[in-house]
Structure 1
Amino acid sequence: MSSLLQVRVTGILIEDERILLVKQSVSSERGWSLPGGRVEQGETLEEAMIREMEEETGLVTKVTKLLYLCDKPDSSPSLLHITFLLERLEGEIRLPTNEFDLNPIGDVVMVPIADLANHGFSEKFMTIVQRGFPESGSYQGLKRNIGL
């Protein structure tokens, strides 16, 4: 039995009622995602989130709040998914180089929160964002419990 566990961080950046998304294949139903990725050996969660955000979007950010901790045990290896609220410190949105990415990012955009469903996100997730992340800072069980 394997004891591997993948840890992934996801960042939510909201400015002027708009949320930052990256165009990247998530599933057959969804071609847009929140910025984020795998935590590398020796990184803190915060370091991984800041690195992923800058790599994927060109923005320098800081973590302002832990939103949710979720499981995705059906992934291989199992996945621990941690979502943070971020604040932009500097930078302009740009496309990443994608030079080492097997799942390249095709676009980086700020979209109105009300348009999340039009970008393949669940109504449940859109409602959570619109309500200001109720129960933030908590363990939510399965990732689908927050609509992701």
Structure 2
Amino acid sequence: MGKVTAIVKAAARFGPVVYPVVKKGAVMLRENPELASQVQRLLNGLSKARAARSRPEGLRRSVEVLRGQAQRALAGADTPAEAARAEGWLLQADKLDSAIDLMSLHDRKAQTADAAAIEARVEELFAQIFTALVRRDDPDAAQLPPA
């Protein structure tokens, strides 16, 4: 199995937001091994985060993986727009951390709904960061959906 095939299969575990974005970027991943390695590390981090003992802990770890990618994007930002987008991702990560903290105040049913909403937002942010990474490495990546 090729590296890109493994990346696409790993992305399939993350749901309807992440998988289509990664699948559409597969051609660019094949052409750019460095980007493929970076995406593989990100997916591995998210997979390990979801394997945590408790759901809040797993969510927190997922947010930390995204925060790390947003910090890398901020450090490598070439334009004020890229920096602002990365700062927005960091702000979203902070908001997700706060939402995870508030989960404990709800009953079990509400916690399940909260966790599902947080997971969905993590997937959306992953898709945005992935799209930005691909576009940065390949400015002609018009076939990807907007972040």
**Shorter-normalised TM-score: what interval?**
under 0.3
Return the TM-score normalized by structure 2.
0.26
Structure number with the higher helix fraction is: 2
Structure number with the higher strand fraction is: 1
Return the TM-score normalized by structure 1.
0.26
Please say which structure displays the higher CA radius of gyration: 2
